[in-house]
Amino acid sequence: MEVHRAQERGRKLPDIWTEHPEIVRDLLREAGFTCGVAPRVLPGRDPEWTCIIDGSNIAGDIYIHQLDTVPGEGTPAAWLLAVLGLLLVVVLCQAWAIIRLRRRTRGSGAKPGFQG
């Protein structure tokens, strides 16, 4: 099948993430893609948002996604990961500072602990 030969040549078609999936689908139809068909590469996707092309240089399926369905986009999970990443940076900086201070006190002959 032509789809498999095109994919073997490394010409895989991408998924498209857009705020305007209807416009993208109409543009692909105008460009010669067949839209509204059952996907051939990844079964189970919504046929309404699947477009296929069988050309001599490129062949395969393109699946159109609504941009607000991007996993993690603006969700609490994304914010949680950002906060955890920031906390990790803070903890690593503190650990680095503590290690440097301990090395300085060992090198100067001072006793470890509070010198008050």
Q: Taking the chain (116 residues) in consecutive chunks of 10 residues, what is each chunk's mean pLDDT?
A: 43 79 93 89 86 83 79 66 89 91 74 59
Identify the pLDDT of residue 5.
42
Identify the pLDDT of residue 22.
94
Tokens of residue 93, six digits: 């900086």
Identify the pLDDT of residue 115.
59
Strand partners, 66: 18
Domain ranges of the chain: 2-69
3-state class of 65 per DSSP?
strand
First to last CA, the chain: 81
Identify the pLDDT of residue 60.
84
